[in-house]
Structure 1
Amino acid sequence: MPELEKIVERPLITITNLIWSFNKETHRVQLLLVKRKDQPFADRWALPETLLRENESADQAAVRLIKEKIGLDLPESSTEQLATFTAPHRAPGERALALTYMTYLPAMPALRPGYGATAVAWFAFENFGHKYELISSDQTFEIAKGSHALAFDHDEIIAVAIQRIRNKLDYQPTILQILGPEFTLREAREVYAPFFQTTVDKIDNSNFRKTHGFFLTETGVQKNYHKSGRPPKLYRLKDLKNNILWSKVDPK
């Protein structure tokens, strides 16, 4: 008889959260990374993560992680489940399962390294030709399945997240929540551009309004507009699954 494989009785369960935001000054999508303090992968950049505790759900752990890393109290509905990653050797020396989430922040609060991290930073999400990159003031990481720029399998997790977001841009663009409760069509196109691996100017404004206007509601015009011409119109997302009521969230 073939030898029975060992059953994993108590694997580690980690909660990994991709926290997206938008820089209003640079007009770039941002992703939060932390530099790990301890082994494995000490001094390597990674996605924020935490161990699941005995008396909490995965959803509760996902929002606790946000509180610990950047000091925001968010409701459980503010996170969106992405996928579960279970490759046998994704963590050195032990069996670890990663339950992954995505969170969309309309503001970039001041950061402080939490437990287990020596640094934390926002990285701009960019596309160059046919590759995606995460860029900070002194670091650049190329992101793709099979690359190992980040700790564990976090490159693959980000690649899966990018594909998920891209696939939903035409019918459920929850990523637009990083723009806050109101935004212009140009800002929406600035979010779309890196996921579509193009530039914002190559996404025609009129065509974008025609093809994506069904999930937008016009709310008025931009105030305090000091450029020539008419101020741009403002829009908000119509009700979407997991749409966050950011007006009730204090980003400070």
Structure 2
Amino acid sequence: MAGRSQKKTTSHPLEDFKVGVDNIIFSVDTTQNRLLVLLVMRQEEPFRDRWSLPGTLVRQGESLEEAAYRILSEKIRVNNLYLEQLYTFGGPHRDPRESPESYHVRYLSVSYFALVRFEEAELIADGVTGIAWYPLEQVPQLAFDHNQILKYGYQRLRNKLEYSPVAFEVLPELFTLGDLYQLYTTVLGEGFSDYSNFRARLLKLGFLCDTGKKTSRGAGRPASLYRFDAEAFAPFKDKPLVFV
């Protein structure tokens, strides 16, 4: 229309993306009260000989979840695990391979976090010179932005303990309240709740079933064994649990 100025638009080229999957694999060593994360040593550039989270680029015809399970199966053998998608990290320059020589390819990382039972997890070292469980507080400087990804995953794990039954994924089918309390203190820290309040609140909620069986450990009194009742927990799903 005559007399109306036209706003000039600037056209930006579209990014060309490569998509990777990085897994944060947590486990709780209840015998030594340690929260562990699985790390692998990179065998190629960039960051050769640097510890990193287990990861892979997504193959043609492969879904993100399939890639996450593939990298899990290549690094660890375990019968039971919890896995969920965490977050997508895609800021520019997060990967040294993003250079003019690479025609401005951007590398995205879709992260997943997993929780496995330490006692039954078997590490696979085939073709890998470095693979190890690291206590969370001893994790070194990792490749790429993996320290940031790990920090995000740890916060998600803490949050999951508040409103989901994820803790029971790493306990045996039958467990004592002391076992459960120890797991929570290992992940959340000693100050989250005292044992008496923790025990009273849990039993009041009613999703733990007393099996009538007891176990003896050391010189103390036999402790009652409980089983998690998923049906009884259903009303509490996605609601913060007060005991944490």
TM bracket, shorter-chain basis: 0.7 to 0.9
Deviation at 1:215, TM superposition (A): 7.4
User: Do the aligned residues in 2 keep the contact of 1:181 with 1:237 (CA within 8 Å)?
Assistant: no
Equivalent residues of 1:34, 1:120 under 8 A apart = yes
Alignment length (residue pairs)? 216
CA 1:25–1:98: 2 relative to 1, 3 Å: same
Mapped pair 1:83 → 2:93: no
Q: Contact 2:30–2:183 (CA<8 Å) still a contact in 1?
A: no
* Aligned counterpart for 2:230 among listed residues 225, 231, 238: 238
Q: What is the letter of the counterpart of residue 121 of structure 1?
A: A
CA–CA distance in structure 2, aligned partners of residues 226 and 164 of structure 1 = 35
Deviation by residue 1:25-80 (Cα, 9 ceiling, x = unmatched): 31322211111111111111111011111112111111111111124477xx9421
Q: Distance in 2 between matches of 1:59 and 1:237?
A: 28
**TM-score after normalising by structure 1:** 0.74
Whole-angstrom distance in 1 between the partners of 2:58 and 2:161: 31
- What is the correspondence of 1:36-51 to structure 2 with a 5 Å cutoff? 36-51=42-57
Opposite residue 61 of structure 1, the aligned amino acid is: A
Q: Look up the match of 1:250.
A: none
Q: Structure 1 stretches of 5 or more lacking a match?
A: 126-132, 142-148, 242-252
CA distance change for structure 1 residues 38 and 89 in 2, over 3 Å: closer, same or farther? same
Q: Which amino acid aligns with 1:44?
A: R
Alignment check: 8 A CA contact 1:107 1:180 kept? no
Quickly say closer, same or farther: Cα 1:56–1:30, change in 2 above 3 A: same
* CA distance in structure 2 between the aligned counterparts of 1:16 and 1:180, rounded to whole angstroms: 27
Verify the 8 A CA contact 1:22 1:179 in the aligned structure 2.
no
Structure 2 residue 178 is matched with structure 1 residue 186: yes
SS of alignment partner, residue 229 of structure 1: coil
The answer to whether the 8 A contact 2:78-2:116 is kept is no
Does 1:122 find its partner at 2:128?
no
Contact 2:33–2:186 under 8 Å retained in 1: no
| Distance change (3 Å), C-alpha of 1:226 and 1:160 | same
Aligned AA (2:61): N
Separation in 1, partners of 2:210, 2:65: 32
CA displacement at 1:174 relative to structure 2: 1.6
C-alpha change, 1:215 and 1:238, in structure 2 (3 Å) is farther
Identity %: 31
Q: Secondary structure at the match of 1:209?
A: helix
Give me the TM-score of the superposition, normalised by structure 2.
0.76
The one of 169, 177, 186 aligned to 1:177: 169
Relative to structure 1, the CA distance from residue 209 to residue 73 in structure 2 (aligned partners, 3 Å threshold; closer, same or farther) is closer
Residue 63 of structure 2 is aligned with which of 57, 67, 71? 57
Please give the alpha-carbon distance, in whole angstroms, between the structure 1 residues aligned to 2:85 and 2:168. Answer: 17
What is the deviation of 1:12?
1.5
* 1:33 correspondence with 2:39: yes
Counting helix residues as a fraction of each chain, which structure ranks higher?
A: 2
**Deviation readout 1:192-244 (Å, 9 max, x if unpaired):** 22443x327x7322211344453742243443544321324334263679xxx
- Judge conservation of contact 1:66–1:73 (CA < 8 Å) in 2: no
Q: Give the unaligned 5+ runs of structure 2.
A: 1-7, 99-105, 235-244
Larger CA Rg, structure 1 vs 2: 2
In the other structure, the counterpart of 1:218 is: 209
Separation in structure 1 between the aligned mates of residue 79 and residue 162 of structure 2, nearest angstrom: 30
Say if 2:202 and 2:208, in contact at 8 Å, map to a contact too: no
1:93 equivalent among 76, 81, 97: 97
